[in-house]
Structure 1
């Protein structure tokens, strides 16, 4: 009795206990059997594993020294042969401990069917295709195969007549060897990757990356690497125009180095807004060759730029204004790449303007950035474009709008800086700084805002809208000013998030009006052909100016007319067919021009007026000759202000003007009204 008692206690321990074998602690359960014979597993085939067990009377056999090499994401056939010892039915199940928690769980079981009256033949469901989970980290995993007579086996319990065998699965990552990917096709977002040789090829996505020591991963211009976690024991280099994206839960570790290179080409003695894609880089080391007093941050409260001391460690999401010599080499941001959720404190003071920047070594989706911060910032973002102006001193908002490109993040619409090209796409590149208007003290950045696509055309990938168009005013001194009008996207005709003002207004400007607000981007509700958009134009000097339609999308790209109505001259010009040139005095005018989308019935002169009504200069007077009786003449200056009015009953009249400028004569005869432009 004592022997039987001891034997039963041993069986319980074998099934439930851990024990040591040398220095290794065995933590998997060891199955037992109430009885045994030569019923059992005779062969196991999986991937490159082929074990002829031959059948055994043992309840459990440890074959973990035998290894099946597999690759995450691929499928392999598992086949098990059995010996039933006559007309009996045996059932077979396999388990693979994918999470390596030393427990064979229900979700890790694979049913291989049954076998009846066979000797060394496959079970009914052999071979069974098993896919290695795509995101399985490289490493070794335990596989258990168990056969039981007359019932489904369990992984650990004492199961009647049964046999269990354990094997090792070695899950291999997709590997780059310098010539090709080990799986023949390359990685995807669900596969781990090991880079064992230098790589500078095409874009790819991976579940994780392990970069071996002394190896370099180079992300070249136009390419990207999108990955979760990274173990970097070599060197990662992101060239100008490349993108290194980590997903929401990704981590970064290892003993290697990371560098993001940016082209610092600039015009001599001009500033640019920068932000660091790596943690705590010394700004004085990043920008070699520049004059120290020209590395600055923006002070919201004072509206001035403040020189930063040496050394100054960059802060994620913080913007810097740096004057870089034209001969400066490319910039290199070296350190640990910024990743994950980043929070920046904003200042509420003065105009609430804050200089911030893209904190990541990848492009930042501006629409996604704004969508996550609608309660924190206004919808307008400003980007300093130093190619379009001669400004060499940063003076806060007093710099006026001679160098800022404007982006409305609610409507994904750009307006260029004066005398510059309209920017493309909806993302801020690596290292890009920009200005926001704070509503609260907090600004957030997350990995979900990171993108590799810089965009190939103006606002191509935006929320569906009715259409949008851009107008450009060209001055006689060869500068130009742009504005945009958009329809749909949820905008209203009142001032709202879809509207953007310039950060400041200079001596010349071109804008539309929403109430008292002067806008460079105006979002309107869904398109209505009866809509009217009021325009404003400001000029430093008297001269001849031109308004043109430059870009168009949606219904405007499909031919919808855009009429510029000159209320002073009583003309309507379809800008789809060409530009409009006009004369104007210096000043700020808000009531001369408007945009309409269908022609109105304007009063026009008769044929006699058009052909025979004459206006000519005689000394200081302008003489009007008419083939029929003149009834009145009104004289307007370029701002639309009535400066003279004559009541007449004659066929000739003289208008005397003492001040130089552009004037419009509104001449009424018995049959019609005509307008004539004159310049004194």
Structure 2
């Protein structure tokens, strides 16, 4: 046994009798007076022989972390003996170590706490021969790099590097990550469109310096508790809108004044949403009103904006929002739970993460409504999104958001009545650069088609029906989206007695399924229903039939639009969607009586085949001589702009499904 312990004598004298130990510079052992009293049999002022030849083990593992954060847990491995305690030091030589009273093989990061500088850690072990040995140390490194105007002092920043920008800096396709970011020395920092700054921790903008996110640039932060200090600017482009058009906005910074955001908007054209009346109320004093965090506002374009569609850039200025936000919304009962909220962050958020949040899945239905109406148009005001997909409103500036809520974006949600709080978290944030306010790998099975209703006056409405994993034929939160729009026509699908802009149906798909449609129009006239687009097997041959229960017609929408006349009002029992023809049903066959031929105002004539798509037409004289031919028409109406100098003509019409009929006309 190599344990050598010397007790101090009461008289204050020490007697040393040590044999076989050489105390020179190459000594393997040292005599050490220990202050430790926790080890069995060792008291203050006792002396121990520390033997570095023992196996103290290895501390796993070296780490590089952000300043002001705690490291991951440290673990001692491959040691032989008993752990007496741990030590930390500012230097690798442990010249002035600090003891940590932990006898476990794991030193928790929470025990270590937040570190501000590089620190070394090791364990002190009593070996089986009672000598004291040290483990190999682990280094917890905290590094920084500074931009001086031409280069980074310690390499390009990473997620574990504290970045300092002390001279002007503009990104150009070079997004970067950092542990924290400080801008000082009057530096001007510009993050260009499409670039990101991703920070584990906080952002500090010192007085005299500036930090600007151009349109579609993002500040993406990970840690909720990180504090941001100083003002940044965030530029956001509107869609191409006209002077009297509106946008729903939400501020990504603290304390943004409404009027300062859009100073040329008329003071009576800033609105908040009144959930009690489902109308927009004028904000009485936008000059003294700031954006509430996570609340949406309807703001008209500046009054000096062009009357032609043009992009307008607004600038948010303030401390960037970060971390958890809870927004309490109004609940006035059924029909009075629609609330206008918005993305609170200087980065996009993932819509699925937002609606799937444990708090939000109880408090809101899971449908998001986006304002997209142009002034003076007959289109509906809102586009609709659910986890099944997106339904537009026919406006030219509308794109599918693909589940991304952009920076500055306001939107409507409907409460469920269970809770009246929505929760925003950093986990919802994403650095997606989709289209501005609207254009994800999806493992959920979706089979969908979109139907448009179109009026001769340009009226438009869209609905979507899809068969989706997790859906049922009843009402499904997150999937089914109520129709709430205000256009001059409305096409929707019905669940019980309620119209839906988006309806999910259960899988597996059953071709005998029937979906009832609702249609309304403020004016009597001629309208059409047509497939806008489809996916999965609806795009690969699965028929979609529209049945008109008033006329008895069943029309294959894959062949083209169904045209019909409609008296002003609402009908929820005239149309239905089906996927197979009823047995023993006598389907009307294309015949000559369905074709109308009439002269137009010019020298030609019009061939109108009703609901049947035309493939081609041929015009013969009475002797059978071919005078005119038109191929690949693919419409139900075509014009023959020919001055055919014959009294009697024979018009041979071939439908798209190959049925041929001949009509005689006197020209």
**TM-score between the two structures when normalised by the length of structure 1:** 0.64
Q: Which residue of 2 aligns with 1:200?
A: 171
Matches within 5 A, 1:91-490: 107=74, 139-142=117-120, 159=132, 171-173=142-144, 176=147, 187-188=158-159, 190-197=160-167, 198-201=169-172, 202-234=174-206, 235-254=210-229, 256-264=230-238, 266-302=241-277, 303-309=279-285, 310-325=287-302, 327=304, 330-349=313-332, 351-372=336-357, 373-387=360-374, 389-390=375-376, 402-408=380-386, 411-420=387-396, 421-438=398-415, 439=417, 440-455=419-434, 460-462=440-442, 464-490=444-470
Q: Once superposed, what is the RMSD of the aligned Cα atoms? A: 4.6
- Seen in structure 2, the aligned counterparts of structure 1 residues 528 and 4 have a Cα distance that, compared at 3 Å, is same
- Seen in structure 2, the aligned counterparts of structure 1 residues 599 and 7 have a Cα distance that, compared at 3 Å, is farther
Please say if 1:38 is aligned against 2:24.
yes
For residues 320 and 580 of structure 1, what CA distance do their matches in structure 2 show?
A: 40
Instruction: Select which of 479, 493, 496 maps to 2:473.
Output: 493
For residues 239 and 248 of structure 1, what CA distance do their matches in structure 2 show?
A: 23
TM-superposed deviation, 1:541: 3.3
CA contact (8 A) 1:36 1:59 kept: no
Comparing 230-239 with 370-379, greater Cα deviation is found at 230-239
What 5-or-longer segments of structure 2 have no aligned partner? 1-5, 15-19, 34-49, 81-108, 306-311, 599-667
Q: Which residue of 2 aligns with 1:561?
A: 543
CA contact (8 A) 2:195 2:217 kept: yes
For residues 217 and 281 of structure 1, what CA distance do their matches in structure 2 show?
A: 21
Comparing 195-204 with 331-340, greater Cα deviation is found at 195-204
TM-superposed deviation, 1:512: 1.2
TM-superposed deviation, 1:382: 1.6
Comparing 270-279 with 232-241, greater Cα deviation is found at 232-241
CA contact (8 A) 2:189 2:212 kept: yes
CA contact (8 A) 1:466 1:555 kept: no
TM-superposed deviation, 1:167: 12
Q: Which residue of 2 aligns with 1:631?
A: none
What is the DSSP-based 3-state SS (H/G/I as helix, E as strand, rest coil) of the residue aligned with 1:375?
helix
For residues 282 and 605 of structure 1, what CA distance do their matches in structure 2 show?
A: 64
**TM-score between the two structures when normalised by the length of structure 2:** 0.66
TM-superposed deviation, 1:435: 1.5
What is the DSSP-based 3-state SS (H/G/I as helix, E as strand, rest coil) of the residue aligned with 1:368?
helix
For residues 273 and 613 of structure 1, what CA distance do their matches in structure 2 show?
A: 48
What 5-or-longer segments of structure 1 have no aligned partner? 10-33, 42-54, 61-83, 114-132, 154-158, 392-399, 618-680
- Seen in structure 2, the aligned counterparts of structure 1 residues 218 and 524 have a Cα distance that, compared at 3 Å, is same
Aligned residue pairs total 514
TM-superposed deviation, 1:516: 1.0
For residues 351 and 165 of structure 1, what CA distance do their matches in structure 2 show?
A: 66
Instruction: Select which of 502, 512, 518 maps to 1:521.
Output: 502
CA contact (8 A) 1:40 1:163 kept: no
For residues 166 and 465 of structure 1, what CA distance do their matches in structure 2 show?
A: 52
Q: Which residue of 1 aligns with 2:640?
A: none
For residues 209 and 280 of structure 1, what CA distance do their matches in structure 2 show?
A: 22
TM-superposed deviation, 1:521: 0.9
For residues 504 and 135 of structure 2, what CA distance do their matches in structure 1 show?
A: 71
For residues 13 and 584 of structure 2, what CA distance do their matches in structure 1 show?
A: 109
TM-superposed deviation, 1:278: 0.9
What is the DSSP-based 3-state SS (H/G/I as helix, E as strand, rest coil) of the residue aligned with 1:555?
helix
What is the DSSP-based 3-state SS (H/G/I as helix, E as strand, rest coil) of the residue aligned with 2:450?
strand
CA contact (8 A) 2:379 2:461 kept: no
CA contact (8 A) 1:296 1:305 kept: yes
TM-superposed deviation, 1:143: 6.0
Comparing 175-184 with 356-365, greater Cα deviation is found at 175-184
For residues 245 and 6 of structure 1, what CA distance do their matches in structure 2 show?
A: 69
- Seen in structure 2, the aligned counterparts of structure 1 residues 185 and 571 have a Cα distance that, compared at 3 Å, is farther
For residues 390 and 538 of structure 1, what CA distance do their matches in structure 2 show?
A: 20
- Seen in structure 2, the aligned counterparts of structure 1 residues 423 and 612 have a Cα distance that, compared at 3 Å, is closer
CA contact (8 A) 1:470 1:550 kept: yes
TM-superposed deviation, 1:556: 2.1
Relative to its length, the structure with more strand (as a share) is: 1
For residues 603 and 94 of structure 1, what CA distance do their matches in structure 2 show?
A: 82
For residues 518 and 146 of structure 1, what CA distance do their matches in structure 2 show?
A: 72
What is the DSSP-based 3-state SS (H/G/I as helix, E as strand, rest coil) of the residue aligned with 1:491?
coil
TM-superposed deviation, 1:217: 4.1
TM-superposed deviation, 1:145: 10
For residues 562 and 312 of structure 1, what CA distance do their matches in structure 2 show?
A: 52
Please say if 1:584 is aligned against 2:572.
no
TM-superposed deviation, 1:480: 1.6
CA contact (8 A) 1:222 1:241 kept: yes
What is the DSSP-based 3-state SS (H/G/I as helix, E as strand, rest coil) of the residue aligned with 2:235?
strand
- Seen in structure 2, the aligned counterparts of structure 1 residues 427 and 200 have a Cα distance that, compared at 3 Å, is same
CA contact (8 A) 1:261 1:330 kept: yes
After superposition, the C-alpha distances for 1:364-389 in whole angstroms (9 at most, x for unaligned) are 222221122121122222211133x4
After superposition, the C-alpha distances for 1:175-221 in whole angstroms (9 at most, x for unaligned) are 55555666767524x55444454252423344433444433443322
For residues 147 and 402 of structure 1, what CA distance do their matches in structure 2 show?
A: 75
What is the DSSP-based 3-state SS (H/G/I as helix, E as strand, rest coil) of the residue aligned with 2:558?
coil
CA contact (8 A) 2:244 2:301 kept: yes
After superposition, the C-alpha distances for 1:423-446 in whole angstroms (9 at most, x for unaligned) are 331122111111222223322211
